[in-house]
Structure 1
Amino acid sequence: MPGFEDTNLTCFFDLERDAAVAWMKQVVVGDEDPFETALVDYQPDLQKTLPDFHATRLLFGVSPVCVTKLIREGRRLYRETGGRRVPVRRIYNRMVFDELDAKKVALPFSFTDDLDVSWCSHPNWYWTWSKFALPYLDHPSVPKTRYLSDFGTDLPEDLENYVLKPLFSFAGSGVNIDLTRAAIDAIPEAQRSGYLLQRKVEYAPVIDMPSHAEGFDPAAPGVKAECRVMLLRHSFDGPRPLRPLIVLVRSSRGKMLGVDQNRGVAQNWSGGTVALFG
């Protein structure tokens, strides 16, 4: 890693870099040819994650493809590249489905179709491991969460300590972090099963970080951090434990940690990184 050549620091849990990259490639590509594997998103060239897509092409040989550019013939999918039609036998799925819904994107196939492709990961996982599961998780590390419809009229008195979240909306879209009774009253009862009320987590602004190009501003608030563990497994090799690979660290001076929620923050968005292990 540039700048850390003379240290034992690594961003990987228990693998050397080459082994970690090989493991990731095996999970993404499976048993298919990387050329016949497609990283599928909507308008990938316009996504904030475009640097990830370039890295995926460099490391794994898998190119990004807009979902609207896929071609369906029977149960088969194809993509056009270099003036030729190439079969898509595996999809590295990077789509945010509520973006497709919000923009009324017409697709050449349905995600429920019986297609002759394998997935990493299958669209069903997108819904299974989503906010829908939070009310069923009972653990000290999981903020207490209930469906808004379960409260009826017996709402918490201290709503300032809760966050309201749409059930199937992602990347922080629609989250109400400064919650009031009026905001809840505005939601029709018939729609309340589509929302979660979650105990708010207070992030501690403990990291000093430069806030301007000129350097550190001591008057700027500290930076908050959130760690997310990337877990992988061979979906094509039967059930097995998820294996941790790296820790993604998102940081922010704003109330939320997403990119979209930190545009225009006075002290500048602080970005993201990976955790290093010694």
Structure 2
Amino acid sequence: MNKEARENYNQSFSEEKYQQMIAEIEAEFPGQLDFRVAESPIFVPNDLKIKILSACNSIIDKIKSPDFKEKTERAIPKSHFVPNETDHPSVLAIDFGITLDENGHLSPQLIELQGFPSLFGYQSYLSSKYKKHFSVSPKFSEYFNRMNGRTYQEEMKNFLLGNSKPENVILLEIFPEKQKTRLDFAITKAYWGIEAVCITKIFEENSQLFYLKEGNKTKIERIYNRLIFDDLDRNYSDIKLNIDLSKPYDVTWISHPNWFYRVSKYSLPLFKSPYIPFSKYLSDFEEYPTDLENYVLKPLFSFAGAGVNIDIQKEDLETIKDPENYILQQKVKYEPCITDTKGEGIKCEIRMLYIWPENAKNPKLVTNLARLSKGKMIGVDFNKDFDWVGGSGAFFETN
């Protein structure tokens, strides 16, 4: 996106260096890398950065509004309601597709958002690898709020651990050793000493939660929650747990599970900004749009893009028996805004990552995640035969 930074990076790039970077990751965390790493980061200029931050601020203002919880109450399935909900999510992940506006300028458009953790460990790690192996301009940074690699590590340590010891904080998942994001789990342990623990290994005593660490019963004081209950229901419905999450356990959640549902596709129609495409609950339409080719149909209660329809026919909408559980969202036309060494255009998404400590008035933007694509959509299934695609990070202009 920034021409000078892009040209410098591409000139420094070689396939040999890229393979060396991947080999280094594999050597440091053997067997943990289970997704494609893109050959390049993104270089975001100041004008685009300002637009992204404006969109994020409008979203945060709405989440902070007194009526947000009331308007998102139905988002939480009764079967997954967890007691002792916090006043706000502990984290925010806000995804933007990069497009062109009516004047031909780069513009962000909101795709999705989550009150749920993302790859806070891996993204810092990956950005350091790009800087080590290729030319990344010092005028650009992967961090925000004047942070650098060292201060980011310290900020995240304080945020995740609070006043607890690392052994009393766990990263919660279902069979973490099998998850595609397990590299992030390994980095989280290396950086902050937090163990990834399967939910099947947790047990309760007198409203407190425990797990076995090296054979010793260890109290859990804080849960860095990476478990998506939809995934548990869909793929592990036959598993019996030793705990009942409908009980008010003496534990601090990061982030509380209810916020996964509140800040989600369900809340998209509540946000208004030039950088947020129109969306509306399907049940609120008196007449469906005649230009359905310009819309995406999304189920509110689905995981990892399941059930999304990008080629809608009117008949598809008329056969839906629960329209209150779907939204129509205007399509976002991604702009191939990055050029690889062969001159081919690449589309991208950028995810802004915030932390929101318990007593903080506002969330704090700390870093980001990016994904590159040459396919019809962002995602592995649409990019199997391409290079310069996959997981990446963005470096934002700092002056």
Fold-level match, TM-score > 0.5? yes
Deviations along 1:144-165, one digit per CA (max 9) or x if unpaired, are 111111114x111111110011
Q: Using the alignment, how far apart are the partners of 2:134 and 2:362 within structure 1?
A: 31
Q: Tell whether 2:269 aligns with 1:135.
A: yes
Q: Using the alignment, how far apart are the partners of 1:72 and 1:89 within structure 2?
A: 12
Which residue of 188, 193, 200 maps to 1:68? Answer: 200
Q: 1:268: Cα distance to partner?
A: 5.2
> Mean alpha-carbon deviation: is it higher for 59-68 or for 199-208?
199-208
Q: Tell whether 2:356 aligns with 1:233.
A: yes
Q: Using the alignment, how far apart are the partners of 1:269 and 1:167 within structure 2?
A: 31
* Structure 2 residues without counterparts, runs of 5 or longer: 1-127
What secondary structure sits across from 1:20 in the alignment? Answer: helix
Q: Tell whether 2:280 aligns with 1:150.
A: no
Q: Using the alignment, how far apart are the partners of 1:45 and 1:55 within structure 2?
A: 13
Equivalent positions of 1:22-101 (< 5 A) are: 22-101=154-233
What is residue 213 of structure 1 aligned with on the other side? none
Aligned positions, number: 263
What TM-score do the two structures reach when normalised by structure 1? 0.87
Does the CA contact (< 8 Å) of 1:27 and 1:120 recur in 2?
no
Equivalent positions of 1:1-278 (< 5 A) are: 1=128, 2-3=132-133, 8=138, 9-13=140-144, 14-103=146-235, 104=237, 105-152=239-286, 154-188=287-321, 191-209=322-340, 216=342, 222-235=345-358, 238-259=359-380, 261-262=381-382, 265-267=384-386, 270-277=389-396
Does the CA contact (< 8 Å) of 2:223 and 2:252 recur in 1?
yes
Q: 1:81: Cα distance to partner?
A: 2.5
Q: Using the alignment, how far apart are the partners of 2:227 and 2:326 within structure 1?
A: 22
Of structures 1 and 2, the one with the larger relative CO (CA 8 A, separation 6+) is 2
Counterpart AA for 1:205 = P
What secondary structure sits across from 2:274 in the alignment? Answer: coil
Counterpart AA for 2:289 = P
What TM-score do the two structures reach when normalised by structure 2? 0.62
> Mean alpha-carbon deviation: is it higher for 96-105 or for 141-150?
96-105
What secondary structure sits across from 2:372 in the alignment? Answer: strand
- Counting aligned pairs with the same residue, the percent is 37
What secondary structure sits across from 2:338 in the alignment? Answer: coil
Does the CA contact (< 8 Å) of 1:111 and 1:123 recur in 2?
no
Q: Using the alignment, how far apart are the partners of 2:360 and 2:301 within structure 1?
A: 27
What secondary structure sits across from 2:306 in the alignment? Answer: coil
Q: 1:239: Cα distance to partner?
A: 3.5
Runs of 4+ in 1 over 4 A off after TM superposition: 4-7
* Structure 1 residues without counterparts, runs of 5 or longer: 211-215
